[in-house]
């Protein structure tokens, strides 16, 4: 089973934090994270520093990591862009994989980007084409795909309409993001199944929040539906600051522990992830939502490393 792990702790994980984490501390965390065996690490988002101060050093983080040769072969660095100005910044500092998306909720879209769903869709597609033409990998997403804290349930037809628009534009790496944490396993399988019918060759990704405790169950449902790229966050840190109830992400080490218990991704250093989660918790001065960094792994499934 070809499962890709995409950790978003340094972006989605930190964007809600009130205390700004110093750049040298972030760099230390990133250097540890890229050596755990995860496939993609999201370094930050290219947003206005006044709106999300925690992301003000994203450009600098990319430049320092790339110039120092700190990233092992086979590990990709990703960044989130919301608009053309953010795209300019991302292209200038050599981001390998650009993530961008449209919310299926009008309310969330306006709070998050200041644009309607329709306007955001047109701009994101144009940005994706520009990034792809410049030789970058591009992943486009539908945010609030399973529900919205402001609007409630989001019809599947609304999500599929956005996905069809992506496919018509030639964009086939698609992520569904459960921004409000409203997804349930049955709906996850159903919606990803419908997308698979639209384009069996699409590369599918998922991004779940564990707001109501269904994150890991939803990830397993997504895998069953053919999703191969899983977004997660060390310690379960994070949440969207522009949704009504911000819940943390699916925890990377908890997810890896589950997968390894099932014989999947034994190459990932679970010990490295748990020690990093502990370091982040210590720096922030509180417990994180993740479990395995506190409980430890089931002993027989804890990989040994020299």
pLDDT digits (tens, 9 = 90+) for 130-188: 999 999 999 999 999 998 877 778 899 999 999 999 999 999 999 999 988 999 999 99
**Active-site residue flag, 99:** no
| Helical segments of 93-180, H only | 106-113, 117-133, 156-168
Encode pLDDT of 215-260 as tens digits.
Answer: 999 999 999 999 999 999 999 998 554 444 445 899 999 999 999 9
Give 37's contacts (C-beta < 8 A, 6+ positions apart). Answer: 5, 265, 267, 268, 269, 272
Give 171's contacts (C-beta < 8 A, 6+ positions apart). Answer: 125, 128, 138, 140
Domains annotated for the chain, with CATH where assigned, are 4-298 (3.20.20.70)
Choose the catalytic residue: 93, 99, 232, 240. 240
pLDDT band for position 200 (cuts 50, 70, 90): very high
Encode pLDDT of 8-50 as tens digits.
Answer: 999 999 988 888 999 999 999 999 999 999 999 999 999 988 8
Q: Which long-range contacts (CB under 8 A, 24 or more apart) does 156-165 make?
A: 156/187, 156/190, 156/191, 156/194, 158/104, 159/104, 159/191, 160/191, 160/194, 160/195, 160/198, 162/102, 162/104, 162/117, 162/121, 163/195, 163/198, 164/198, 165/121, 165/125
Instruction: In whole angstroms, give the CA distance from residue 142 to residue 104.
Output: 6
Six-digit token pair at 17?
């934090």
């Amino acid at each position: 089973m070809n499962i890709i792990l995409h950790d978003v702790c340094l972006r989605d994980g930190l964007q809600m934090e009130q205390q700004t984490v110093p750049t040298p501390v972030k760099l230390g965390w990133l250097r540890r994270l890229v050596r755990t065996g995860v496939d993609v690490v999201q370094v930050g988002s290219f947003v206005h520093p006044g709106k999300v101060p925690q992301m003000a050093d994203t450009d600098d983080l990319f430049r320092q990591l790339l110039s120092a040769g700190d990233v092992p072969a086979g590990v990709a660095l990703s960044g989130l862009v919301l608009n053309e100005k953010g795209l300019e910044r991302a292209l200038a500092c050599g981001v390998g994989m650009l993530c961008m998306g449209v919310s299926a909720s009008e309310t969330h879209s306006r709070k998050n980007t200041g644009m309607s769903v329709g306007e955001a869709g047109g701009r994101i597609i144009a940005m994706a084409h520009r990034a792809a033409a410049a030789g970058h990998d591009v992943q486009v997403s539908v945010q609030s795909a399973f529900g919205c804290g402001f609007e409630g349930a989001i019809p599947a037809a609304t999500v599929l309409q956005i996905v069809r628009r992506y496919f018509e534009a030639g964009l086939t790496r698609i992520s569904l993001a459960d921004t409000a944490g409203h997804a349930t396993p049955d709906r996850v399988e159903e919606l990803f199944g419908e997308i698979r019918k639209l384009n069996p060759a699409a590369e599918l990704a998922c991004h779940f929040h564990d707001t109501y405790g269904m994150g890991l169950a939803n990830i397993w449902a997504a895998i069953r539906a053919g999703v191969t790229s899983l977004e997660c966050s060390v310690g379960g840190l994070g949440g969207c600051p522009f949704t009504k109830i911000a819940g943390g992400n699916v925890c990377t080490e908890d997810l890896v522990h589950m997968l390894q218990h099932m014989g999947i991704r034994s190459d990932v250093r679970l010990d490295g992830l748990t020690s990093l989660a502990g370091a982040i918790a210590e720096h922030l001065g509180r417990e994180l939502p993740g479990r395995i960094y506190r409980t430890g792994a089931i002993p027989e499934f804890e990989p040994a490393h020299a």
